[in-house]
Amino acid sequence: MSTESSPEALDETAFDAVLCVVAHPDDIEYGMAAAVAKWTAAGKRVHYYLLTRGEAGIDTMEPVDAAPARADEERASAAVVGVERVEFGDHPDGTIEYGVVLRRDIAAAIRRNRPDLVVTLTHEETFVGGNLNQADHRAVGLATLDATADAGNRWVFPELVADGLEPWKVSGVAVASGSRATHYVDVTGHLEDAIASLEEHRQYNDALPEDFPKPPELLENILGGSARAVADPDVTHALLLEYFAR
């Protein structure tokens, strides 16, 4: 495995339960949801854990109104791709702080949900392609990598054990949208699922600038563009991941 060569296919037989950990409603829907649709269709259990309700994401809507609206939109997006369990943390949208509080909340979510695989967004300064990443994504991405270790260690956050959350060891953690993809998930045939999932963010999408690409164009660019890094010509759409075994 090398970042110089093509990414290799992720061994999807190696996991049955997945937890997606991100900062905001819609973070999962910019590509990751295509893989989620594939996995739930195959009988895998996928849960979402979001650190915020995205209350600072709509300029024309007060946070007190945006929080429940966007949480509802995320639940609808999740349902479209077969996900029934969506949990929200109580961190503030826009000002999530990296630190032990964040790591503990994510470790607790991992212990509650007991996934084999955790998937998150990149903590790098830029996304693949060069657009600047966002502060909450950087904090949550890095804390999620750390929390996959914290979740398995009885002596880190012992108060979680006191609350009945026994240690849980994940088998791996994967990072989407970063510049160092090692693996891919073939999501050919799941583009429409991904589009339908993103389209559930109706109030959020409606508030985007007129010239912002619509979900079909956006996801074709992301998933179709990612497939060009894959050596297999039968793969027309792909989710690229940097994968770490735990």
Contact between 123 and Zn ion (CB under 5 A)?
Answer: no
Nearer to Zn ion by Cβ, of 54 and 172: the residue is 54
Contact between 111 and Zn ion (CB under 5 A)?
Answer: no
Instruction: Give dist(CA 22, CA 109) in Å, integer.
Output: 12
The b-or-e profile of 187-226 (16+ CB within 10 A means b, else e) is: bbebbebbbbbbbbbebbbeeeeeeeeebeebbbebbeeb
Residue 157's region, left for phi above 0, alpha for psi from -120 to 50, else beta, is: left
For the beta carbon of residue 228, count every other beta carbon within 10 angstroms: 9
Q: Whole-number minimum distance, CB 70 to Zn ion, in Å? A: 11
Contact between 55 and Zn ion (CB under 5 A)?
Answer: no
- At 77, list the tokens: 């997006």
Instruction: Give dist(CA 125, CA 143) in Å, integer.
Output: 15
Between residue 8 and residue 47, which ones bind Zn ion under the rule CB under 5 A? 24, 27
Binding mask 212-241 for Zn ion (x = CB under 5 A): ------------------------------
Q: Whole-number minimum distance, CB 28 to Zn ion, in Å? A: 9
Nearer to Zn ion by Cβ, of 14 and 135: the residue is 135
Q: Whole-number minimum distance, CB 41 to Zn ion, in Å? A: 25
What does the binding site for Zn ion look like in residue numbers (CB under 5 A)? 24, 27
